[in-house]
Chains A and B, each alone.
Chain A
Amino acid sequence: MALSLRYAKPKRNFLKEASIMNSGDTAWVLTASALVLLMTIPGLAFFYGGLVRRKNVLSILMQCFIIVCVISLQWVLFGYSLAFGPDFHGIIGTLEWAGLAGVGAAPNSNYAATIPHSAFMIFQAMFAVITPALIIGAYAERVKFPAFLLFTVLWATFVYDPLAHWVWGAGGWLKSLGGLDFAGGIVVHVSSGISALVLALLLGKRVGYNHKPIRPHNLPFTVLGAALLWFGWFGFNAGSALAADGLAATAFVNTNTATAAAGLAWALIEWRHNGSPTILGAATGAVAGLVAITPACGFVNPMNAMLIGIIVAFVCYIAVAVMKGKLGYDDSLDAFGVHGVGGTVGTLLTGIFAQKAINPAGADGLLFGNLHTFGIQCLMLVVTVVFAAIMTFIIFKIVDAAIGMRVEEKNEIIGLDLTQQSEAAYTVIE
């Protein structure tokens, strides 16, 4: 009977096949993957590149560019399998999918049932790429290129991949607890931000820091980079819906709303505090808003997204403009102050503002009478902070012993462009 039915209505069966794979979803996730690539190069590269001195701008562009190359390959070879491969006791993925074995056009329903598994993989690849690139902001202007390379590969393998597995991987132990991280507030921003702080403390200050103000060499680059980050972040956040659906639109709207609120709030805060609203402040605030809305964007309503933007602008402003100066560490480009602090704020606020009315697959937060979710968010935060900090400390010590993390003082003064890359960004004489 069943056999005859199948043969009798081949067309219906064909339609059913087609509905498993959704071309709209696939198109959107592939587009979103390209948008997330745009966040690293040229977005983050120019955001950071403009903030350093002219003698170091190429070193930043090089680091961002090479991370795209290196981590893309790491991801294909074994990174994706460690993060998303078949679960091993909730701790790590096995190497069964190394070299993308079995990761092809057929969907994997554990992650995204309506798009090719390879589309999900490449979307996640762009996240794996940008996360170590965010840390560049902490060690900018004073790290050896070979040490940077080794650190990045080790960090991606031993910090990012396990953490991504815990929070996002099928069977990951934090995922099983029900923690909320829509697009990577914990995995991407808290992990990189905390690691950035540890690195800044271990590396020490740049030569001349505190005695002489270190001015950004090209703020238009920084603003261009911030704008590209904002643009690309729609792929990061709305793409994390892994479908071209209402949830993606919710994440998109929340992302834009929180970012706008944070950019404006930061400018207003410093107008009041320092007498002038600065474009660097507005751009920094916008990035802080993007960071904070990242874990929340698929779980909150737009008015609470606006609130998240305003709150994160206040907290990050205090971290960057007040706390950093008082504590005296040299987080060169505020990777911790924006990503670590902003990611923490976003993760906690997700546990407060999340509501099932927005996303039934999520949970209700503190504001909607659920203490449990907030507790899980705190736990995820503590676990990530402790894990990322300890692992970064160990990796730093290994790389420092093997090659030395920091450039010689003479080379730092000359600049990394000439001493690490043997090229100059700007000619003074033709």
Chain B
Amino acid sequence: MKLVIAIIQPHKLEAVKRELEAVEVNLMTVTNVLGQGRQKGVTEIYRGAKEAGGLLNKVRLDIAVNEDFVEPTIDAVTRGAHTGSVGDGKIFVVELAQCIRISTGERGGVAIG
């Protein structure tokens, strides 16, 4: 089991969701996050006071998947979020020690899908 964490541009969320549904990855957790990467932040100005490098809005998806779905998930997120410019985001893949479905108490791979 792996946890795929994707940080993407907010306006790409719908496209990424469509691509994930196409490869039958339907379960995810989505949060609004702030961040900065190679794109750097924007400069904000309040009554002449400049704030350089303000953080940008991003969307984070947490997707738990079984081994067979790891590569399709990565491909789907990439297809949906790619524009080719800095700021498209990142995908992190980490080992997932356990998964428990609260309603039934099922554990492991069967609880993920």
- Complex partner residue of B48 from A215, A216, A317, CB under 8 angstroms: A317
Whole-angstrom CA separation of A216 from B50 in the bound complex: 13
Would you list 16 pairs from A and B whose C-beta atoms are within 8 A, ordered by A residue? A213-B44, A213-B46, A215-B51, A270-B48, A274-B45, A274-B50, A278-B46, A280-B46, A280-B47, A284-B47, A320-B47, A320-B48, A321-B49, A322-B48, A325-B48, A325-B49
Is B51 a contact partner of A213 (Cβ separation < 8 A)? Answer: yes
What residues of B have a CB within 8 angstroms of the CB of A276 in the complex? 45
* Apart from A213-B49, A334-B47: 20 A-B pairs, beta carbons within 8 A: A213-B44, A213-B51, A215-B44, A215-B51, A216-B46, A270-B48, A273-B48, A276-B45, A278-B45, A278-B46, A281-B47, A284-B47, A317-B48, A320-B47, A320-B48, A321-B47, A321-B49, A322-B48, A325-B48, A325-B49
Task: Closest B residue to A269 by CB, please name it.
Answer: B48
How far in angstroms is the closest Cβ of chain B from A278?
A: 6
What residues of A have a CB within 8 angstroms of the CB of B44 in the complex? 213, 215
What residues of B have a CB within 8 angstroms of the CB of A321 in the complex? 47-49
How far in angstroms is the closest Cβ of chain B from A341?
A: 13
Whole-angstrom CA separation of A325 from B45 in the bound complex: 13
- B contact set with A: CB distance below 8 Å: 44-51
Task: Closest B residue to A281 by CB, please name it.
Answer: B47
- A contact set with B: CB distance below 8 Å: 213, 215-216, 270, 273-274, 276, 278, 280-281, 284, 317, 320-322, 325, 334
Whole-angstrom CA separation of A213 from B54 in the bound complex: 10
How far in angstroms is the closest Cβ of chain A from B3?
A: 23
Is B48 a contact partner of A274 (Cβ separation < 8 A)? Answer: yes
How far in angstroms is the closest Cβ of chain B from A286?
A: 13
Whole-angstrom CA separation of A278 from B47 in the bound complex: 8
What residues of A have a CB within 8 angstroms of the CB of B45 in the complex? 270, 274, 276, 278
How far in angstroms is the closest Cβ of chain A from B39?
A: 19
Whole-angstrom CA separation of A265 from B45 in the bound complex: 17
Whole-angstrom CA separation of A274 from B48 in the bound complex: 7
What residues of A have a CB within 8 angstroms of the CB of B49 in the complex? 213, 321, 325
Whole-angstrom CA separation of A213 from B12 in the bound complex: 30
Whole-angstrom CA separation of A215 from B44 in the bound complex: 9
Task: Closest B residue to A274 by CB, please name it.
Answer: B45
Is B47 a contact partner of A215 (Cβ separation < 8 A)? Answer: no
Is B46 a contact partner of A215 (Cβ separation < 8 A)? Answer: yes
What residues of A have a CB within 8 angstroms of the CB of B50 in the complex? 274
What residues of B have a CB within 8 angstroms of the CB of A320 in the complex? 47-48
What residues of B have a CB within 8 angstroms of the CB of A322 in the complex? 48
Whole-angstrom CA separation of A273 from B48 in the bound complex: 9
Task: Closest A residue to B44 by CB, please name it.
Answer: A215
Task: Closest A residue to B52 by CB, please name it.
Answer: A213
How far in angstroms is the closest Cβ of chain B from A397?
A: 30
Whole-angstrom CA separation of A278 from B50 in the bound complex: 12
Task: Closest B residue to A320 by CB, please name it.
Answer: B47
What residues of A have a CB within 8 angstroms of the CB of B46 in the complex? 213, 215-216, 278, 280
What residues of B have a CB within 8 angstroms of the CB of A280 in the complex? 46-47
How far in angstroms is the closest Cβ of chain B from A236?
A: 23
Task: Closest A residue to B50 by CB, please name it.
Answer: A274
How far in angstroms is the closest Cβ of chain B from A323?
A: 10
